[in-house]
Structure 1
Amino acid sequence: MSALAAHPVDPPLTARWLGRVDYATTFQNMKDFVAQRTPDQREQLWICEHDPVFTLGLAGRPEHVLAPGDIPVVPTDRGGQVTYHGPGQVVAYPLIDLQARRYFVKEYVHRLEEAVIRTLADLGVTGHRVAGAPGIYVRLDDPFSHAVLLQKPQQRAPGSPAPQPDFTGLGKIAALGIKVSQHRTYHGVALNVAMDLQPFSRINPCGYAGLKTVDLSTIGVSVPWDDAARQLAAHLTRLLAV
């Protein structure tokens, strides 16, 4: 199916605004919701921020957690390596049924990333995808430039390996990690708005030593957390409803 092809779904997503919540509790609540949801229950989009926590994905290697200090490390069942969640970051967890919405995991990931790109565009920032590295990145020297990245994903031959990511001149502004169980999704995407970025220096973000992490405030964009959260939620709702 082509990206963003229209397949209206009824009923639409129900947004739940959780506020600042404990990560481990939210993780368990997501698993319970996905396991227990009946076909007639509305799918949901949870929006929240977390107290400081490092989360380790299924592919996570402990050596990428360099110096956690007093920040807890929570193993999870999402894909990917290690990342950090903390105050000032918008975290979005779509709890949807991919089979009912008639698209596959690759397109689902594309839609999550596209929602972030559109949210950034609303703020004048150009977000980029990088070949071989899920998430969204910005140019450190000019986050507002529309110039195409050399590192952008390209069409590759079926069965060919993913390219080695090239983060030259880039900072990561949004991370993505998902889990799909019986066609149902949980975990999601996190957009850095106005955070204490120091904890990212205690890990190799997403398993990449030296990968720079940024937020909107450090690239010169001042926006309230609530405004960024509502923009992201609106784009996710639209993009996941077709």
Structure 2
Amino acid sequence: MNVSPSAAEADPAGLPPAEAGPAGFILRRWGVVEYARTFAAMQAFTAARSPQTPDELWLVTHPPVFTQGVAGRPEHLLAPGDIPVVPSNRGGQVTYHGPGQVVVYPLVDLRRLGIYVKEYVFRLEAAVIQTLEAVGVVGFRVESAPGIYVNLADPFQAGLPAGPRQDPFAGLGKVAQLGIKVSGHCTYHGVSLNVAMDLKPFLRINPCGYAGLATVDLATLGAPSDPEAVAERLAERLAHHLSR
């Protein structure tokens, strides 16, 4: 349940203007912004929030950047080249952000919502799956590999292939990445969904620490791929799942 903002909390210094978002969330549209700037802003926001601070959703597009999670190992950076590598305190390994990718950062008080981290991740993934459904794509989870995947042979009809699989990623493509941090029961970082982007930088890394993992976007799959429309849908689904 969200809480109405006080005048002092409505527009913290350095943040984009606040607007009324779905399901009582505050929504902030950052546009194109350096990863390091939003990283610092998320940390400051989370450190300063109180039990009365309303939850927020930040919609972001980052210039090309590799981010390395707390578990990140240098061997998963194959050839970063001219793309900067920024250490992050989110979970997981290395991933890529760039234009044409929708990034949403939910800043949510889990204690107030009444859920734990495992349930939070499940709800993030559910929001992505439902966002993909809206453009006709079947997205699904892979056990012990956070994020959302598609069946490359038939992304509009088929789910996870049945039966035992020696390679859990055979025939699959990753379309959305998750990475979160929880501090004082409050979340930051979030989810990125590949919409219509240059996918070549993913070849410079082992995405999320998995060598050879295929990465796809909606445009490559042949699905509707308007980043603004996808961002609105994803924000609405996230707010729906994180407001009760």
TM-score, length of structure 1 as denominator length: 0.89
Q: Which amino acid aligns with 1:227?
A: A
Task: State the 4+ residue runs in structure 1 displaced beyond 4 angstroms.
Answer: 8-11
Kept in 2: contact 1:151–1:165 (CA 8 A):
no
For residues 87 and 98 of structure 1, the distance between their equivalents in structure 2, rounded to whole angstroms, comes to 30
Aligned residue in 1 for 2:134: 122
**Secondary structure at the counterpart of residue 215 of structure 2:** coil
Instruction: Give runs of aligned pairs for residues 91-240 of structure 1, distance below 5 A.
Output: 91-150=103-162, 166-240=168-242
Say if 1:132 and 1:165, in contact at 8 Å, map to a contact too. Answer: no
Q: Secondary structure at the match of 2:235?
A: helix
Query: 2:31 maps to which residue?
Result: 19
Determine if contact 1:95/1:186 at 8 Å carries over to the other structure: yes
Is the 2:139–2:159 contact (alpha carbons within 8 Å) kept by the matching residues of 1? no
Cα distance in structure 1, aligned partners of 2:138 and 2:163: 14
Cα distance, 1:224 vs. partner?
Answer: 1.2
* 1:133–1:165 Cα contact (<8 Å) kept: no
Secondary structure of the corresponding residue to residue 32 of structure 2: strand
RMSD: 1.7
Q: What is the Cα deviation at residue 222 of structure 1? A: 3.0
- Tell me which residue corresponds to 1:157: none
Q: Spell out, residue by residue over 1:43-89, the C-alpha distance to the aligned partner (whole angstroms, 9 max, x if none).
A: 11101110000000000001100101110000000000000000000
Measured in 2, the distance between the counterparts of 1:81 and 1:138 equals 20
Alpha-carbon distance change, 224 to 106 in structure 1, aligned in 2, over 3 angstroms: same
> What is the CA distance between 1:149 and its match in structure 2?
3.6
User: 1:79 matched to which residue of 2?
Assistant: 91
Alpha-carbon distance in structure 2 between the residues aligned to 1:149 and 1:13: 37
Give the drift of 1:148: 4.8
Once residues 49 and 151 of structure 1 are traced to their aligned partners in structure 2, the CA distance between those partners, rounded to angstroms, is 38
Partners of 1:169 and 1:221 lie apart in 2 by 18
Structure 2 CA distance for partners of 1:130 and 1:50, relative to 1, 3 Å:
same
TM-fit CA distance, 1:174: 0.1
Q: 2:105, 2:226 → 1: CA distance?
A: 20
Q: Distance in 2 between matches of 1:194 and 1:113?
A: 20
Question: Which deviates the most, 36-45 or 91-100?
Answer: 36-45
TM-score, normalised to structure 2, is: 0.88
- Work out the percentage of aligned pairs sharing the same amino acid: 59
Q: 5+ residue gaps in structure 1? A: 1-7, 153-162
The residue identity in structure 2 corresponding to 1:66 is L
Aligned counterpart, 2:15: none
1:40 maps to 2:52: yes
User: Structure 2 stretches of 5 or more lacking a match?
Assistant: 5-23
Q: Deviations over 1:104-124 (max 9, x none)?
A: 000000000000000000000
